[in-house]
Structure 1
Amino acid sequence: MSRLDSMLRRLTAQRDGLNWAARDIADLSGDVLDLGLGNGRTYDHLRECLPGRRIRVIDRVLQCHPSCIPPEEDFLQGEAEPMLNHLHEEGARFALAHYDFGSGIKENDVAEAAKLSPLIARLMVPGGLIVSGQPLVGLRRVEGPETIARDRYLFYRC
């Protein structure tokens, strides 16, 4: 499979998974957490499909498209671990989290996801969902939409 086809498959899975998760959490209270702003495409999509929810964002740098800049009070800039600890101390609670951190080096990305998994889990409301491009540990994996290949995108129920 070409890299272009692989990217299209990943983005389609991401969109379909987020849409499925947004419908699934409709009756839960709690905010949304976007881990990895990047250029802001996912953040923009979350704003569209969850218009009544506050969306908090963590990333090392703010380098997204100008139309996708989160409000200053919702963007936490820095390394994930201290930012997740800050949210915990603040008492933040999330019905949905999207995990999209990655350097492109699989071993490093898997190790970081494993390290951050318990910090994310403690922020989630009961029944909340985590949609992730990386495997998380210590969480209950669930099946996402049937349109997504089993290991293409991962879903966890808290």
Structure 2
Amino acid sequence: MSRLESMRRRLTAQIDGINWAAERIADMDGDVLEMGLGNGRTYDHLRQELPDRRIWVIDRMLKCHPSCVPPEADFLEGEAEPMLTRLAQEGRRMVMAHYDFGYGIKDKDVEEGARLSPRIAAVMVPGGLILSQQPLVGFEQICGPDTIAPDRYLFYRRV
């Protein structure tokens, strides 16, 4: 599979996954967390699909497309660990999270996901859903939409 085909698979998985999760959290209370803003495509889709939810965003720096800049009060700039700790200390509760951090080096990405998992769990409501490109630990792995290959995107529930 070419890198271009792989990218198309990833983007389709993100769209289908966000839409799937948005339906499942419709009757649950809590905010949404985007971990890794990048150029803002998934954040923009989250805004479209969950217009009545507060969407928190964590990223090392703001470098997204101008149309995708989150409100200043919802953007936490810096390393993920202190930002997740801050959200937990403030009592923020997430019903859905999208994990899109990564260095592009598999071993490093897997290690970071495992290290951040307890901090992510600390802000998730019981039953909250997490969509991730990377494996996370300490959550119940669940099946996502049938349109996504099991190895393309991972879906978790906070028990």
**TM above 0.5, one fold?**
yes
Detail structure 1 runs of 4+ shifted over 2 Å in the superposition. none
Mapping 1:71-150, distance limit 5 Å: 71-150=71-150
Offset, 1:138: 1.0
Identical aligned residues as a percent: 71
Q: Name the CA distance, whole Å, in 2 between partners of 1:5 and 1:93.
A: 36
Matched, 1:56 2:56: yes
- SS state of the match for residue 26, structure 1? coil
How much does 1:101 deviate?
A: 0.1
Matched residues, number: 158
**1:122 positional shift:** 1.4
Separation in 2, partners of 1:98, 1:121: 13
Q: Normalising by the residue count of structure 1, what TM-score does the alignment of the two structures yield? A: 0.99
1:71-127 C-alpha deviation (Å, 9 max, x unpaired): 000000000000000001100000000000001001000000000001001111111
Q: What secondary structure does 1:51 align onto?
A: coil
DSSP-derived class of the 1:122 partner: helix
The separation in 1 between residues aligned to 2:134 and 2:77, in whole angstroms, is 21
Could you state the TM-score of these two structures normalised by the residue count of structure 2? 0.98
Q: SS of the counterpart of 1:13?
A: helix
Alpha-carbon separation, structure 2, partners of 1:151 and 1:9: 11
Deviations 1:23-52 (A, max 9, x none): 010000000000000000000000000000
Distance 2:151 2:125 in 1: 25
Measure the CA separation in 2 of the matches of 1:15 and 1:117.
23
Aligned-partner Cα distance in 1 for 2:79–2:63: 15
Name the CA distance, whole Å, in 1 between partners of 2:92 and 2:100: 19
Task: Give the letter aligned to residue 100 of structure 2.
Answer: D
Over the residues paired in the alignment, what is the CA RMSD in angstroms? 0.5
